[in-house]
């Protein structure tokens, strides 16, 4: 079957009594061998769909490699493959005893420089008071101001040095930037990591909801697909379970596969996707249209060459009527022209070619 062939699904509204269909189903259930079964056309909601195949992929940014920006020994590793983590959870900790000592030293230096600033401020204030009383030279005030400026600069540097150590210390605790599932772990407790040149990867995390379905739609069908179309799909691993989604994006440019032009259709998955994994293949049905239509059972529609026809009872005889059909599913066929809502259409058994000559034709 061509990938993307248009098929039809039937959506049956709850509460349709359908007297004619009831009569048809009763007749089909009780008909003896050779007894004719008829049905009356009825209006139902027909849903046209595009079929395609697809594959589950991680959207851009859906997979994050969490690494270390600090060299050292891995002291704690808190995750394993399959672990569920939330944004901010600790993945690993690097031995930070050396950094803690540096931080204590940096804080002590900040305290020293703060004291130096206070002392310089006192000296400047004293020099200004003496200057006002003409007890010291003006140059002493200027020297005191220079000393205060230098003390303040030293304090700024000490604080900056302390912030650098604090930043390095924060790197010792590696946290998850997203909520998701751990897909891989690339280190272990006791291992030494070096962040001199490349950031070593500790773990790979897949974000919740990061999967999207990429369906390949044939160029003959892409015109029927629009953003927002509802989608149903199954995967080989769970063939009896249906997942839902909606068309999110349609590629503006097609690709040629085995001589056939296909367009990528990106589908956002609405169903809970815990069972789904990247690279799973999927059978996709994109609902493209829905309308009220006059339908008959598939068994009643016959074909001769390019003509479609049905047998209709008129005055106790069978009359062959050409019809124009529309969408079709496993049970029903849309009749666009050729039948009315009161016609009695033969469902079974269909006349043999020899007997058909005895029936009328219109």
Q: Are 188 and 299 found together in one domain?
A: no
Six token digits for residue 209: 């909801």
Q: How many domains does the chain have?
A: 2
End-to-end CA distance of the chain: 34
Question: How far, in Å, are 70, 72, 111, 281, 345 from residue 96 at the CA level?
Answer: 10, 8, 23, 46, 85
Q: Are 188 and 95 found together in one domain?
A: yes
DSSP 179-226: SEEEEEE---TT-EE--SSS--EEEEEEETT-EEEEEEEETTTGGG--
pLDDT value, residue 196: 64
Q: Are 224 and 323 found together in one domain?
A: yes
Q: What whole-number distance in Å separates Cα of residue 75 and Cα of residue 95?
A: 5
- Tell me the Ramachandran region of residue 61: left when phi exceeds 0, alpha when psi lies from -120 to 50, beta otherwise: left
Six token digits for residue 335: 């009749």
> For residue 1, is it within any domain?
no
| pLDDT tens, residue by residue, 241-276 | 999 999 999 999 999 988 889 999 999 998 776 789
**Which of 142, 170, 203 represents a domain boundary (last residue)?**
203
- Tell which residue, 166, 172, 167, has the closest CA to residue 91: 172
Q: Which residues span the domain enclosing 173?
A: 63-203
| pLDDT tens, residue by residue, 114-168 | 999 999 999 889 888 887 888 878 888 888 999 999 999 999 999 999 999 998 8
> For residue 327, is it within any domain?
yes
**Which of 180, 203, 226 represents a domain boundary (last residue)?**
203
pLDDT classification of 11: cutoffs 50, 70, 90: very low
Listed in sequence order, the residues at least 6 apart from 127 whose beta carbon sits closer than 8 Å to its beta carbon are 136, 140, 141, 143, 144
Q: Are 277 and 337 found together in one domain?
A: yes
Describe the chain by its helix, strand, coil percentages, rounded to 5: 25, 45, 30
Check whether 353 has a pLDDT greater than 80: no
Q: Are 329 and 242 found together in one domain?
A: yes
CATH number at residue 178: 2.40.50.100
pLDDT classification of 198: cutoffs 50, 70, 90: low
DSSP 238-251: EEEEEEEEEEEEE-
pLDDT value, residue 318: 93
């Amino acid at each position: 079957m061509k990938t993307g062939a248009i098929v039809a699904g039937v959506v049956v509204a709850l509460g349709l009594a359908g007297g004619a269909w009831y009569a048809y189903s009763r007749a089909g259930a009780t008909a003896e061998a050779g007894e004719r079964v008829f049905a009356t056309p009825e209006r139902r909601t027909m849903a046209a769909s595009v079929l395609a195949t697809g594959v589950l992929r991680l959207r851009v940014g859906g997979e994050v490699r969490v690494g270390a920006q600090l060299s050292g020994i891995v002291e704690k590793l808190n995750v394993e493959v399959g672990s569920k983590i939330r944004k901010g959870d600790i993945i690993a900790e690097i031995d930070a005893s050396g950094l803690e000592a540096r931080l204590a030293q940096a804080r002590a230096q900040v305290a020293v420089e703060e004291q130096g600033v206070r002392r310089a401020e006192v000296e400047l204030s004293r020099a200004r008071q003496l200057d006002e009383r003409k007890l010291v030279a003006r140059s002493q005030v200027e020297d005191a101001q220079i000393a205060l400026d230098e003390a303040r600069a030293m304090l700024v540097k000490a604080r900056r040095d302390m912030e650098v150590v604090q930043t390095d210390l924060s790197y010792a605790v590696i946290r998850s930037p997203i909520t998701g599932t751990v897909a891989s772990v690339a280190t272990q407790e006791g291992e030494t990591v070096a962040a001199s040149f490349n950031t070593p990867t500790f773990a790979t995390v897949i974000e919740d909801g990061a999967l999207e379905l990429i369906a390949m739609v044939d160029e003959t069908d892409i015109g029927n697909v629009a953003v927002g179309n509802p989608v149903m799909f199954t995967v080989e691993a769970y063939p009896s379970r249906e997942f839902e989604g909606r068309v999110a994006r349609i590629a503006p440019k097609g690709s040629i596969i085995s001589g056939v032009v296909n367009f990528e259709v990106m589908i956002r998955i609405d169903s809970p996707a815990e069972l789904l994994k990247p690279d799973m293949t999927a059978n996709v049905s994109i609902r493209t249209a829905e309308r009220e239509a006059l339908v008959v059972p598939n068994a009643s529609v016959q074909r001769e060459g390019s003509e479609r026809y049905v047998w209709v009872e008129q005055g106790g005889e069978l009359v062959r009527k050409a019809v124009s059909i529309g969408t079709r599913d496993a049970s029903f066929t849309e009749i666009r022209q050729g039948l009315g809502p009161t016609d009695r259409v033969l469902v079974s058994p269909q006349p043999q070619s020899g007997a058909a000559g005895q029936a009328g034709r219109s």
